[in-house]
Every structure is written in C-alpha cells, then in structure tokens.
Amino acid sequence: MANSPTGDTMAERIVRVLDTFSAERTVQTAAQIGRRSGLPSSTAHRIVDELVRAGLLERDDEHRVRLGMRLWELALRGSNALRLRQAALPFMSQVQARVREHTQLAVLEQDEALFLERLSHPEAGANITRIAGRLPLHASSSGLVLLAFGPDDLRRRVLAGPLVSVSPETITDPAVLSRVLDDIRRAGYVVAPGSIESVSTGIATPIRDVRGAVIAALSVVLPRDAPTSGPLDELRRASAGICAALASDRP
Ligand code: PHB
C-alpha cells in the first residue's frame, strides 16, 4: 500500500485515525482527530471524509464524528469473537440469573484482557469493566486466567514488568505473580479479591476450545465479601457448557 512522506501506509494512517476513539472519547471533531492521530491536518481531514463516505465513521449535525455502525457490522461479521460470544451467552445468562451480580467474557488481545460481553444485575455492586474495554492481565481475575494459560512468551513479557499497581492489592511482585499463575494452572480458576478495586472480588475460569486450548475467560465480579463457592461452581459448569457448545458449533 502507498506510503506517505512520513513512511506509514494508508492502512496505518486509517488505524491511527480510528485509534483516536476510546470508551471515554466517542465523539470528536476532525481537527481533534488530526491532533490526536499525529497526522498532518489535511491528511486527517481527508481520511475522515473518506471514512464517513464509506460509513465507517458517522458525522452528526454539528459536524462531529463517531465510529459508524458499519464498522461494528464488519468487525463482528463472521468473527471468532462473535462465534464465541454467541456460544457463551446462554450459559452467561444462566450464571447471571443465579449470581445476580456481573458476568463477563474476556479474550486475550495485545497483552490485555478485552471484554466481549458483560451482563449485570440492576442492583449489582461496583464493576469497572466495559464491553469492548480492556483490563490489565495481572490486575483482573479474567486477565490472570488468560495470563496463566497463555503462551510462555506472553508470561515472560508481563513478568518482566512493569506490573502497575491499580489498587493496593494488585500483585506487583513478579515472583508472587509467577506463584499465583502456577496456582491458577493447578486449580483451574482464580479468586482475586481487590486486585483492581478494593470493594470487589473477581472470580474467573478458563474456556477451552475443542483441542483444550484456553481461548477466553469467564468471570463474575462480586462485592468484596460475598461468598465465592456457589459462583465458582456456576462458572465451572458454564465454562464446560460453552466448551461443548463450541465443539458442536458448525460455522
Ligand atoms: C476482576 O476481574 O477481578 C474485576 C474486574 C472488574 C472489577 C473488579 C474485579 O471492577
């Protein structure tokens, strides 16, 4: 693909424009996108116009821009994430109906836990997870499971640090984290009180594909001192159910 004077390809420039959007920054002007993408203003404006024409971005009456529905449609179409989410949803609903707090599905994405789904009871406790949001691997129950069962080089990278402290109880010592990951592999689950917020406990179990490889984590977030054994049983049953559903799924 054609390179710009700064050496990046057209695809890279488009990604830089799209990457300026986040969960907190959903609406921007083309000028803001230009500044935040680091692209020359005229380039950013041109790419924004083209993406609006293609439906990947949408422009409102005040000329501000947001990610378009067509981008969502294309991203999900036939994706593994959608297939996994569809297989998981009935089981997540069952967990959620019984636990009545928060039930979540996460996958490993670029060294972070990326959340594909979250179900929450209207009166559930605190939870900072957002759908399509990310949490650090070492500081969330889902992340710990994905890290424990992830590739060796991922573990090496994460253990090399820095292990940023998100709450007073986040594991920041690589030796402690390494032991915790060993425990998770042995036990097949994690109970992580306060690792990202002092007021909550996360519990997570791995979801495996037909070959036994861990492809996702299923978790619940509970108020800090809630009992954990019932929710853990629910998660284990649901993870096994999702694995079986994936095995019988014909794409
Ligand atoms: C967790 O997965 O450990 C977790 C996630 C979000 C929270 C609390 C705990 O708000």
| pLDDT single digits (tens) 235-246 | 999 999 999 999
Q: Of 214, 215, 189, 216, which Cα lies nearest the Cα of 201?
A: 189
Q: Which helix (H) or strand (E) holds 79?
A: none
Q: Please count the structural domains in the chain.
A: 2
Please indicate whether residue 192, judged by its CB atom, sits closer than 6 Å to ligand 1.
yes
Q: Give the residue from 59, 75, 91 where a domain finishes.
A: 75
95 and 109 together in one domain? yes
Please give the average per-residue pLDDT across 217-238, as a whole number. 98
Task: Tell me what pLDDT residue 75 has.
Answer: 87
Average pLDDT over all residues of the chain: 94
Q: How confident is the model at residue 68 (pLDDT cuts 50, 70, 90)?
A: very high
pTM (two decimals): 0.90
Please give the average per-residue pLDDT across 146-170, as a whole number. 96
Domain assignment of residue 5, yes or no: no
Domain membership of residue 37 as a residue range: 10-75
116 and 237 together in one domain? yes
Domain assignment of residue 191, yes or no: yes
Which residue lies with its CA nearest to atom 5 of ligand 1? 140
Please give the average per-residue pLDDT across 92-106, as a whole number. 98
Segment 169-173 long-range contacts (CB within 8 Å, at least 24 positions apart): 169/193, 169/194, 169/195, 169/198, 170/138, 170/139, 170/195, 170/196, 171/138, 171/139, 171/195, 172/138
Which residue lies with its CA nearest to atom 7 of ligand 1? 127
Task: Tell me what pLDDT residue 168 has.
Answer: 96
* Paired residues of 221 in beta bridges: 102, 202
Please indicate whether residue 141, judged by its CB atom, sits closer than 6 Å to ligand 1.
yes
**Ligand 1 centroid, distance to 193 Cα (angstroms):** 9
Q: How confident is the model at residue 196 (pLDDT cuts 50, 70, 90)?
A: very high
Asked whether the predicted pLDDT for residue 233 surpasses 90, the reply is: yes
49 and 88 together in one domain? no
Asked whether the predicted pLDDT for residue 3 surpasses 70, the reply is: no
Asked whether the predicted pLDDT for residue 141 surpasses 90, the reply is: yes
Task: Tell me what pLDDT residue 2 has.
Answer: 53
Please give the average per-residue pLDDT across 168-178, as a whole number. 97
Which residue lies with its CA nearest to atom 10 of ligand 1? 127
Please indicate whether residue 101, judged by its CB atom, sits closer than 6 Å to ligand 1.
no
Please give the average per-residue pLDDT across 199-208, as a whole number. 98
Spatial contact of 195 and 164, defined as CB atoms under 8 Å apart? no
Task: Tell me what pLDDT residue 78 has.
Answer: 81
Asked whether the predicted pLDDT for residue 222 surpasses 90, the reply is: yes
Task: Tell me what pLDDT residue 250 has.
Answer: 56
Q: Give the residue from 42, 75, 108 where a domain finishes.
A: 75
Question: Among the ranges 22-31, 69-78, 196-205, which has the highest mean pLDDT value?
Answer: 196-205
69 and 85 together in one domain? no
Task: Tell me what pLDDT residue 4 has.
Answer: 65
Task: Tell me what pLDDT residue 24 has.
Answer: 87
